[in-house]
Amino acid sequence: MANWNCEDERVACQFYLKHKEKSKEKADELMTLLNNKFTIGSVRAKIKNYEFLDTGKGLANYSFLSEFTYKQLLKKGSKKGLSKAARGIQLGDVANAAVRNVLTILSIHIGDISADDVLDASVYFDYKCPYTGRDLSSEIKAKANGEKAPNIVLDHIVPQNRECCGLNVKGNLVWVDKEANGRKGGKSFDEFILTDDKIVSSTTPGERQARVDKIKAYQNACGYDPKKIAKIASQMLEDHYKKIENMQVEAAAEIAKKIKP
């Protein structure tokens, strides 16, 4: 088994970055080879067979290099039983937080949201949970009076992540049943309402569809277009997510060079 060096990684990265979009199948195959630690000779032979290698332009970025290097670092020794921080798997936590920060700032640019907006949403849904139909009036009233209401949470109807790009704006934040919010997880609101076992067992198909339609009507009335926002923002946020992940790996590598003799 050959040992990796900087030139090997540079050549592999060059190929991947150049062809990951227009030749995704071949680029994915190369990534599999690399992650399975095939010999450099095998990788170079595969590249030569495809006749795609162009060594004259240098690296456009280090996303693949960082991803590969980080995966190899994680393979060093057993980390079973260690904390999440000690296992070194918090890259995504930091990157996801950065994405949410971008979406929060974007929300301020677009229109943000106020307590009155959230109350308006509750009025629109008759003080009921938009997902389950459970009466939330007493809890919402308690919240308005500054009292505790442990059985409700403020939920993003469209999740605030890099795929869905949910914003903190009117049309996307509403009080919901806490238990239902936990069951919803990463599902879209319509999938959750139409398929959740507890909702399905207690409602008719017509009632479930009416809830979905009412949420869509509310978003439309607020001028909130989640599909348009995701179409514009999702790829940019994916790139931002990768950039933050890579910056962490590269910063650690630079510091390590200065610490290690």
The domains of the chain are located at: 1-77, 99-235
pLDDT of 92 reads 75
Q: In the structure, what pLDDT confidence band is assigned to residue 246 with cuts at 50, 70 and 90?
A: confident
Output DSSP code: residue 128: B
8-43: per-residue pLDDT in tens?
A: 555 565 565 565 555 556 666 666 665 554 454 555
Task: With a cut of 70, say whether residue 71 has pLDDT above it.
Answer: no
Torsion from C-alpha of 203, 205, 210, 215, nearest 10 degrees: 80
* pLDDT attached to residue 75: 58
Strands (DSSP E) contained in 124-239 are 152-156, 173-177
pLDDT digits (tens, 9 = 90+) for 200-211: 999 999 999 999
170 token code pair:
């009117």
Dump pLDDT digits (tens) for 93-109: 888 899 999 999 999 99
The whole-number average pLDDT for the span 157-163 is 93
pLDDT confidence of 248, banded at 50, 70, 90? confident
